[in-house]
Amino acid sequence: MYNTAVAYDGTGELVASYRKLHLFDAFGHRESDEVAPGATPVSCTLAGVRTGLAICYDVRFGELSRALAVAGAELLALPAAWAAGLFKEEHWVTLCGPVPSRTPCGW
């Protein structure tokens, strides 16, 4: 089983399927006990925009965003289930901010 994001075009046609690369094994939770990791980054064109796909915890790994951008992605679609709690919103905003601050090679 995989944690998967799918992308459909305006006609309802499936155009891409992405399996989450980075599983959340932290704070007593082990996603890897329930699902297998994906193997490759995925991008597709949606409404004329080259779009990279990622899922939740993938946001912590700037190299994925960079690989998608190098492959031509102009937009990152990132479905997520973010837990509530003290400073969680600020944490999310920081993680979704500029990628250069999280990658050694800049962007």
pLDDT tens series, the chain, 107 aa: 999 999 999 999 999 999 999 999 988 889 999 999 999 999 999 999 999 999 999 988 889 999 999 999 999 999 988 777 778 778 777 777 765 455 544 44
In this structure, which long-range contacts are made by residues 62-65, counting pairs with CB atoms below 8 Å and at least 24 apart in sequence?
Answer: 62/99, 62/102, 62/103, 63/103, 64/21, 64/22, 65/99, 65/103, 65/107
pLDDT at position 106: 43
- Predicted model pTM: 0.84
pLDDT at position 98: 65
